Amino acid sequence: MEKDYQSAAQMLRDAYQGSPVAPLRDYLEPTDVDGAYAVQAINTRQWLADGRRLVGRKIGLTSKAVQTQLGVGQPDFGALFADMEIPDGGTLDPARAIQPKAEAEIAFILGRDIDDPDASVETVVAAIDQAMAAIEIVDSRIADWKITFADTVADNGSSAFFVLAKDRLRLDGLDLYSCGMVMEINGAVVSLGAGAACLGHPLNAAQWLARTLAARGEPLRAGDILLSGALGPMVALNPGDEVRTTIGGIGSCSFRYA
């Protein structure tokens, strides 16, 4: 089976050159959690060996509707590398993506480690140094986004790039639950949402990730970036698009896909 995992991992790495692959049915059952993370881990180790720098994690599948669609009852996670960050107001070259979509999120930066597999929300709050508006640009190396849970987990949580707002805030006084989100493309509203859409509260998502990674022996560390999950529907991108996200009381960020 390890050989199959290695083959699946190699296929996904090769797909970054621009040619997506078929769903990984020959390698992973649709809900094979352990196998999917094994494939993801193989590629994470390879990318680290290649010199990429791990800067945090992204949380996906925080919407109950999407979980139901993929036949699972849990979120997932993927690795964030330094070369995935697009500066606020910056540009993403379409040649670097395959079939990208944008989603609005709240991001956190940790000020201390979280190594307790039973970490409370209070522990997570105490560990968070900064919060900010963010955009995640998700992408899939699986053709036509025909993904199962195992496909997206193996494919590094369908991650690709991210934008963090320049304005960074302390958690004190922030309303992460009922804050409204608006995402615009070329000035037109394309997605609406709220903090509560992210697993009931973005801090619930952060707690899930902290506990999950600590239990795996890969705890979150001070300085890590955390993308906590979508606040509303994701939207497909087209070359020339200008994307802006605004989250009430938290801030805004933007990028251009061109």
**In angstroms, rounded to a whole number, what is the distance separating the alpha carbons of residues 249 and 28?**
42
Judging by beta carbons within 10 Å of its beta carbon (0-12, 13-18, 19+), is residue 96 exposed, middle or buried?
Answer: middle
Query: Tell me, what's the pLDDT at 66?
Result: 73
Q: Give the torsion sign (CA, 42, 46, 48, 49).
A: positive
Query: Tell me, what's the pLDDT at 3?
Result: 66
Query: Tell me, what's the pLDDT at 2?
Result: 63
Query: Tell me, what's the pLDDT at 72?
Result: 76
Digit-coded pLDDT (tens) for 164-184:
999 999 999 999 999 999 999
Residue ranges of domains in the chain:
2-257
If one counts every other C-beta atom within 10 angstroms of the C-beta of residue 233, the result is 17
CATH of the domain spanning 2-257: 3.90.850.10
Mean pLDDT, consecutive 10-residue segments, the chain of 258 residues?
A: 85 96 95 95 98 98 78 90 98 97 97 98 98 97 94 97 98 96 98 95 98 97 97 95 98 98
Of the CA atoms within 13 Å of residue 82, those in its CB half-sphere come to: 6
Query: Tell me, what's the pLDDT at 238?
Result: 98
Reading the block at residue 22, the tokens are: 């078929």
Following DSSP, what letter does each residue of 151-192 receive, concatenated? HHHHTGGG--EEEE-S--B-STT--TTT-EEEEEETTEEEEE
Query: Tell me, what's the pLDDT at 106?
Result: 98
The answer to whether residues 61 and 158 touch, using CB atoms and an 8 Å cutoff, is: no
